[in-house]
Amino acid sequence: MPRTIDQQIAEAQAKLNRLKTRQKASDTRRKIIVGAIVTTEALKDPKIARWMASTLRKNATREVDQKEIAGLLAELDAKAGTA
């Protein structure tokens, strides 16, 4: 029995939702990988540490985010010699 147009639309929407979920997961994974690499390098190099600390202070404006990165900022400041 052929599917109705409504069934075809529902299937297409379900597929689109699955693809959007996969895309979001991929974007999140990429951010985690890049963040880990940049953080690791910043904790090795004072110049990168200064840049990263400055960038985080400028862009992490929500209080909850600032609390979350407070320890990292302290480590970056220590590495950059600005603590």
Q: Per residue, what are the HEC states of 37-74? A: HHHHHHCCCHHHHHHHHHHHHHHCCCHHHHHHHHHHHH
Residue 43, φ and ψ in degrees, nearest 5: -75, -5
Q: What is the pLDDT of residue 64?
A: 97
Prediction pTM value:
0.78
How far apart CA 45 and CA 40 sit, in angstroms, is 9
Q: pLDDT tens per residue, the chain (83 residues)?
A: 889 999 999 999 999 999 999 999 999 999 999 999 999 999 999 999 999 999 999 999 999 999 999 999 999 999 998 86
How far apart CA 48 and CA 56 sit, in angstroms, is 12
How far apart CA 13 and CA 19 sit, in angstroms, is 10
